Amino acid sequence: MFASKAAARSHFLAARSTRSSAGDLLAGARSLQAVHSARRVALYVSRGLEPQTGALIDWLLATDRDVLLPILYADNDLGWGVAPGAADLVPGRLGLSEPPVDLGPDAIATADLVICPAVAVARDGVRLGRGGGSYDRALARVRPGTPIWAAVYDVEVVDKLPADDHDHPVHAALTPNHLIPLRGSLDD
């Protein structure tokens, strides 16, 4: 067990920085029934050595699904916009790529599936993010019963992580290889 979220975050980000390349989430997601049945997927535009979302976004758009992408506000909350295509994203805060039209923070409630970034995830559904609280706020707006998956690498799924009361659990970990169900289930 890590002594704090900061210690856990530092450990996993340091380990991630030693990766020689980033894995692509398309292979892990493409065969999953929840992905095929979702008409609207809330996702994110990956950066650096995060599990890569570009091919997954392109595939979802090519198969006539809506993809909601986050828009980072000055207070670190998230709005959402429909992805127009990778070439049509605009520069956002902190170097992020964002859709040009903001549908507001409650648009995430229209998603049939949510795939969010994470630094690590515990088998009980605790998600460790980068520390800004953006996704914890956004995930609290997700419609009950909607699957929420954290995108990580297999080695970033651990037995236990520090958690706070405001942390929003996830139901599964999506890795470049497969989906790992977590004890934090849709029945919660």
The verdict on whether residue 50 carries a ligand-binding annotation is yes
Residue 135 known to bind ligand? yes
Q: Which two tokens stand for residue 164?
A: 């706070």
Question: What region, left, alpha or beta, does residue 12 occupy, with left being phi > 0 and alpha being psi -120 to 50 degrees?
Answer: alpha
Give φ, ψ of 44 to 5 degrees.
Answer: -145, 160
Question: Is residue 133 over pLDDT 90?
Answer: no
Q: Up-side HSE of residue 137: CA atoms within 13 Å toward CB?
A: 15
What pLDDT, on the 0 to 100 scale, is given for residue 55? 94
Is 128 part of any known ligand binding site? yes
Rounded to whole angstroms, the Cα distance separating 18 from 96 reads 22
Q: Which residue matches tokens 């040009």? A: 100
Q: What is the pLDDT of residue 17?
A: 93
CATH number of 5-181: 3.40.50.10420
As a whole number of angstroms, the distance between CA 127 and CA 116 comes to 10
Q: What pLDDT was estimated at residue 85?
A: 63
Q: Is 170 annotated as a binding residue?
A: no
Q: What does the pLDDT read at residue 181? A: 95
What is the pLDDT, as a whole number, of residue 152?
97
Average pLDDT over residues 149-164: 95
Give the span between the Cα atoms of 70 and 117, in whole angstroms. Answer: 11
Tens digit of each residue's pLDDT (9 = 90 or more) over 83-103: 986 568 888 887 788 899 999
Q: How much is the average pLDDT of 61-88? A: 90
Where do the domains of the chain lie?
5-181
Does residue 129 have a known ligand-binding role? yes
Q: For residue range 93-132, what is the model confidence (pLDDT) as tens digits?
A: 877 888 999 999 999 999 999 999 999 999 999 999 988 8
Rg (CA), the chain: 15
- pLDDT digit string, tens, across residues 3-52: 899 999 999 999 999 988 888 999 889 999 999 999 999 999 998 899 99
Tokens 């980072």 correspond to 72
Residue-level pLDDT at 187: 43
Q: What is the DSSP string of 84-142?
A: --GGG-EE-GGG-EE-SS---GGGGGG-SEEEEE-SEEETTS-EE-SSS-HHHHHHTTS
Q: Is 127 annotated as a binding residue?
A: yes
Is 130 annotated for ligand binding?
Answer: yes
- Please report the pLDDT score of residue 188 as a whole number: 40
pLDDT number for residue 84:
81
In a 13 Å sphere around the CA of 60, the CA atoms on its Cβ side amount to 34
Q: What is the mean pLDDT of residues 132-149?
A: 94
Whole-angstrom CA distances from 112 to 66, 97, 143, 172 are 10, 22, 8, 15
pLDDT band for 186, please (50, 70, 90 cuts).
very low
